Amino acid sequence: MQARQNQANRITLIILAAVVLAVGAAALFLNQENAPVAASREVRVYLDGVLYATGHLGQKEDIVVHNADGEENVISFTENGVYMKSATCHNQLCVNQGLLTDENFRTRFYRNEIICLPNRVTVEMVLTDDEAADIPDV
Ligand SMILES: [Zn+2]
């Protein structure tokens, strides 16, 4: 009787250990799913609403856009951000929009975009579905 109870206890312990391990593994997996995407976050550059080039935060090379009118926009990157380094547009609003980062996009006027209306260039920092859903409508 005593022996059988000990065995039952041992089986219960093994099942408990298995459950704890499974929960731990699941938690680890979920953690990876939610890992920050900052370093590799994708940036898309559009000209006239058409995808012109793609890049990512932290990249060393600038992206230079030439539109049909001979205008030029230079897009540059930091470790966790992207900005319009220079533009031939007359109002320089795009340059003045400053640095867009994976930290400040929720509070910027143009959210996760840098827009040059005169040259018809849009820079978009790609968000996850969760982040996009998070952003309140303007
Ligand atoms: Zn501009």
Q: How many Å lie between the centroid of ligand 1 and the Cα of residue 121?
A: 8
Cα angle at 79 between 45 and 72, to 5 degrees? 35
- Strand, coil or helix: 87: strand
Q: How many Å lie between the centroid of ligand 1 and the Cα of residue 68?
A: 15
**Per-residue confidence in pLDDT tens, the chain, 138 aa:** 566 777 777 877 777 777 777 777 766 666 555 555 555 799 999 999 999 999 999 999 999 999 999 999 999 999 999 999 999 999 999 999 999 999 999 999 999 999 999 999 999 999 999 888 887 765
Q: How many Å lie between the centroid of ligand 1 and the Cα of residue 89?
A: 5
| Predicted model pTM | 0.71
Query: Any residues with CB less than 8 A from the CB of 56 and at least 6 apart, and which?
Result: 40, 41, 42, 43, 77
Which residue, 94, 118, 108, 112, is CA-closest to 44?
A: 112
Q: How many Å lie between the centroid of ligand 1 and the Cα of residue 20?
A: 56
Q: How many Å lie between the centroid of ligand 1 and the Cα of residue 77?
A: 17
Q: CA-CA distance, 121 to 100, in Å (whole number)? A: 15
